[in-house]
Structure 1
């Protein structure tokens, strides 16, 4: 006899969520097991509940596969970025960017400069992953040479990278959010300006003040000079080394698909290694898989440049696959739907519906492990409340980005959190306090919700106010 399927009740949902948190804490913080194992064990907790409420093993497998399928693009991007980092270091591309950055950027304004550079790169390319894997790792090298704490530099890099991930019309998350919320893409971006502009300005000021009052200019230049000398000793440095980076940025800005574009960039890095860095073609190609290795005699140069390659991403890929499986299982057995129904009964004004969207987005990142999951949970769990309260869908799309996109790098096991930690060489919890743009975007969004500022409604009188607010932007 086939057992009839039903939705999990609230105690069952709470059991799953609490169990997940306990497993993550015990495995990672108490007994020191890999986070991948914690996520894998979490599968069984969710599957047990799924079997109890009538789902078959085949149903549960379908949920896992669907969850992984939804985030598979991020896995492929990780593979190509790993190859790119390896060949770009071997080809002298990253060392040249670091070298020239050290010659033109003053240490006291470096954090602001890194934030601006990564902002412009992400806006032009529409990808936070691509920004961190190219401009980001160069900024990490420059900041490290200036003696600035790498967690602080990572905060500037990731903050800038997520400006474009949130705002660029080329960004897949921006396009996906507009599509899911049924909002015109340009209108979606315009609505986000109300949050992103003040958040960007405040973040820039914070990095300027931090540089002026925290960074010791005179003390850091000696390390920068040593770095430049070591780079010149081990690499051929020249303006032509920057050509692959320029080509990749242009292709991404032209909205070419990110995976083949980044893979092409990795190929250019291997070619540059052969042409300009005295490597054999075989060794140059090997760096795309195994990464680059150097013994310069300078510890921080070795720590910075001994990285990259596809193999460096394998642990990360396993982690993301398990995290995506968790999200797929939760969606399959109806946990997300139960939470949606609970939100519908609670959120009865603009402030609460804004908060519920942000919580739902963070929920998608925390339990689903991917930005794509968080955008789905933020928009689909709460969209009925916006319609019921007569709130314009542009507010939903804006709040979805605040709850879903910008919270992704805050979760250590999400695709964004794992990627940033791996590529930049800084743990998520270390750079977390310095994600100033991301935190400010969430905070400003909540202020608007609870003060009813820039909350547009679908009725006639409020539509007039909305048009006046848009005109004044």
Structure 2
């Protein structure tokens, strides 16, 4: 193997970052072409830089493939949830949830209710994607019928989904972060609670204020009653529709792997569509692949419920694959290592260390396109600095989730951003201003870092401090003896 390669220089890294931003702007915004084309062009730009600094094409391709492989679990989850959404709509499961929600939820408190429901669902299942694909779609339907602004509703839904994604012991990102940081899972969750609990309370207040602000202008029960009538005409609404949802939640709570559980849930949905909705069995199986297709006569119901199926996720999967490839290329040519070295020189206190960890997580989402990549960059770019400053790694794990997990839906081409936009039908840039939980988590994390709050030191720090104190006492006593 040819080892005649080097790390990229600062100028070469700046060139890659600027080329990334310019390419995205020109291709997506100016020319209006698909974002996948822009990301493919960025592949070539990084490959050219890699060849210039001495890497062989085979090395670069191996790094690219490794980046894709590391995000494969998220891709499998997306495909599975696509199938689940299709059959759970066709079977009447999602429509029944929407119907029940319209019947019992008040428009006055809807945003707060949606936020709480999505928190509970994501904590119970450990998946933001699964929560958005089930409870999230239902909340969008209810919010639409109440006449509330959909980007605001999406903000409440996604905020709630990512509380559980960040805090649930069943969440793959929570387990992964604890593992990468080499800390106990429940110590990691306990550390995050110091940021997450106040963040949830503040977010609840913000959505409560927003609900009262928009409700008097736009909330409407007339549209909700019309939607309930149409749903009952189109579907057999029944309490039996809750059975697949309960079974899936129980299986996930028992820590059964998410992909087979979700696929099993989608098969249950196909059977429910056949048994309760009278759809021919072969047709109900086809819905797994092609999604649901109804014509209710009400545009917002058709837009909401004509979705799902594996094909529904194909563009999303392609986008995530290409984005993961960029993350792999950035890793193999040493961009992440170079930035890590820069962070090491700059982060000499807890405030700067917190900020660099958050930035490293955002960097992973922006240039790697996935929560898994962001958690890798956040932990691996900054972990040595925590050890150097003798700060416990539970602070590292907490900050890594703050910069990585909760910022994922903020990036339009990340797996979380693409999935949420596709599933909920609202573009990332429209719901972004209302991701209040994510923003509050970032702000509180930075405040705690610079104020030194809940920044715990390692045992070795206190041992050294005690030894230094004893040494001072001994020196002082020795000086007294000399004087005497």
**Alpha-carbon distance in 1 for matches of 2:424, 2:164:** 18
Say whether residues 1:120 and 2:135 are aligned partners: no
1:80 match: 80
1:408 match: 408
Would the alpha carbon gap of residues 52 and 218 (structure 1) be closer, same or farther in structure 2, given more than 3 Å must change?
closer
Q: CA deviation at 1:212?
A: 2.1
**Alpha-carbon distance in 1 for matches of 2:109, 2:308:** 28
**Alpha-carbon distance in 2 for matches of 1:454, 1:152:** 32
1:277 match: 277
Would the alpha carbon gap of residues 357 and 218 (structure 1) be closer, same or farther in structure 2, given more than 3 Å must change?
closer
Deviates more, 1:217-226 or 1:409-418: 217-226
1:340 match: 340
Stretches of structure 1 lacking an aligned partner (at least 5 in a row): 465-473
Q: Is the 8 A contact 2:107 2:219 kept in 1?
A: no
**Alpha-carbon distance in 1 for matches of 2:437, 2:218:** 29
1:98 match: 98
Q: CA deviation at 1:206?
A: 1.1
Q: CA deviation at 1:210?
A: 1.5
2:393 match: 393
Q: Is the 8 A contact 1:457 1:463 kept in 2?
A: no
Q: Is the 8 A contact 1:456 1:463 kept in 2?
A: no
**1:156-185: CA deviations, max 9, x gaps?**
111011111111111111111111111111
Say whether residues 1:438 and 2:418 are aligned partners: no
2:478 match: none
Q: CA deviation at 1:434?
A: 0.6
Per the alignment, in what secondary structure is the counterpart of residue 200 of structure 1?
helix
Q: CA deviation at 1:2?
A: 4.9
RMSD: 1.5
Q: CA deviation at 1:462?
A: 11
Q: Is the 8 A contact 1:108 1:217 kept in 2?
A: no
Deviates more, 1:164-173 or 1:361-370: 164-173
Matches for 1:174-323 after TM superposition, within 5 Å: 174-216=174-216, 220-323=220-323
Would the alpha carbon gap of residues 3 and 402 (structure 1) be closer, same or farther in structure 2, given more than 3 Å must change?
closer
Stretches of structure 2 lacking an aligned partner (at least 5 in a row): 467-484
Would the alpha carbon gap of residues 93 and 2 (structure 1) be closer, same or farther in structure 2, given more than 3 Å must change?
closer
**1:334-385: CA deviations, max 9, x gaps?**
0100000011111111110100000000000000000000000001101111
Q: Is the 8 A contact 2:146 2:218 kept in 1?
A: no
**1:224-252: CA deviations, max 9, x gaps?**
00000000111111111111111111111
Per the alignment, in what secondary structure is the counterpart of residue 405 of structure 1?
coil
1:143 match: 143
**1:198-225: CA deviations, max 9, x gaps?**
0000001111122123213895100000
**Alpha-carbon distance in 2 for matches of 1:39, 1:440:** 30
User: Which has the larger Rg?
Assistant: 2
Would the alpha carbon gap of residues 454 and 225 (structure 1) be closer, same or farther in structure 2, given more than 3 Å must change?
same
Say whether residues 1:67 and 2:60 are aligned partners: no
Q: Is the 8 A contact 2:124 2:253 kept in 1?
A: yes
Would the alpha carbon gap of residues 77 and 377 (structure 1) be closer, same or farther in structure 2, given more than 3 Å must change?
same
**1:111-133: CA deviations, max 9, x gaps?**
11110011011111111111111
Moved over 2 A (4+): 216-219, 461-464
**1:417-464: CA deviations, max 9, x gaps?**
001111111100111011111110011000001111111112228999
Would the alpha carbon gap of residues 341 and 101 (structure 1) be closer, same or farther in structure 2, given more than 3 Å must change?
same
Q: Is the 8 A contact 2:50 2:60 kept in 1?
A: yes
Q: Is the 8 A contact 1:116 1:160 kept in 2?
A: yes
Q: Is the 8 A contact 2:2 2:56 kept in 1?
A: no
**Alpha-carbon distance in 2 for matches of 1:89, 1:132:** 14
Q: CA deviation at 1:330?
A: 0.4
**Alpha-carbon distance in 1 for matches of 2:79, 2:393:** 36
Deviates more, 1:358-367 or 1:163-172: 163-172
**Alpha-carbon distance in 2 for matches of 1:124, 1:2:** 50
**How many residue pairs are counted as aligned between the two chains?**
464
Q: CA deviation at 1:307?
A: 0.7
Matches for 1:309-388 after TM superposition, within 5 Å: 309-388=309-388
User: What is the TM-score with the length of structure 2 in the denominator?
Assistant: 0.94
**Alpha-carbon distance in 2 for matches of 1:306, 1:119:** 26
2:47 match: 47
Per the alignment, in what secondary structure is the counterpart of residue 80 of structure 2?
helix
**Alpha-carbon distance in 2 for matches of 1:88, 1:462:** 59
